[in-house]
Amino acid sequence: MGCKIVVGFKLAQEYQERLHERFPKLDWIFSRSKHETLSEVRNADAFFGWPTDQIIAAGKRLRWLHLLGAGADGFNVETARLRQILVSNNRGVAASNIAEHVLALMLSFARDLPALSHAQQHRRWTKSHELTLFELSGQTLGIIGLGAIGQALAKKANALGMRVLGVRRSSRPVACVAELYSASQIPDMASQCHHVVACLPGTQESNNLINAKIFGAMRPGSYFYNVGRGATVHTEHLVEALDNGILAGAGLDVVEPEPLPEDHPLWGHPRVIMTSHTAGNTASYWARGIVLFEQNLVAFLSGEELVTKVDLQRGY
């Protein structure tokens, strides 16, 4: 029996057939349930999906995990590090579509689409003077986290005529970003921006990084967006910033927790657009994702460096 790989999610049939065709000597298990995953992973060499501590504990022979998303926050990375399990992720696969999603949220606020949609539902013709309308061109966008998503967003926003500022660990220049700031300088950057977008991974360092201090530094009437991880934003502080008028609006693809309790104020908040963690979900995501998985698979089988290897010290 060859190398055994368990795919722990519902992978489309066309991609199952593609993997069988391209890697016929491998023992493929396309799991249909949590119970089957836990059973099959016991003698598996690799796992593709959303690993949990339970899955990792059951997989005594696991040598490689390929994460379905870009985050490595759903399991104890220290366990993987101690067991010397290689970890790769889908970093960059969703960059283009999530960047477009952010622009959709920004344009929704710019053209006051929530108010227009509400008026349409009530069959009411709305006049321009009843709306809050503006143009993105000439405005300043601040991006917290200049990974693949942040860089893709910078290029698209720049093409719309926006001035782009960014926060990242490295001081290395980034295309279409006018100025770079460190994490400690987020308030300085935020004070200049009409729009601030968080594109951060979920790590101990980023937990609640976006809080009252950041919101308090933002321009009155500015907009905030989160397409990284919900835990990077202090939810109560976000609600306060919306309620007291510091923020004119918030576009949230991710929140903490997911889903929010039914009685949470963000659900019905008039200044909020929520999109239920759907920003990365397009057909093209899988077309790109399967290629990246195959590239990492080839590297794993040949003993080479994984293409999108996760730094288990940093958590991404």
Short-list 292, 298, 304, 296, CA closest to 92:
292
Is 229 marked active-site? yes
Tokens of 142: 């601040």
Classify residue 201 by burial, with Cβ atoms within 10 Å: 0-12, 13-18, 19+: buried
Q: Which sign, positive or negative, has the C-alpha torsion 299, 305, 306, 307? A: negative
By the 8 A CB rule, do 46 and 28 touch? Answer: no
Q: Of 130, 205, 236, 258, which one is the catalytic site residue?
A: 258
Q: Of 91, 163, 195, 229, which one is the catalytic site residue?
A: 229
Give the residue numbers annotated as catalytic, written as ranges: 229, 258, 277
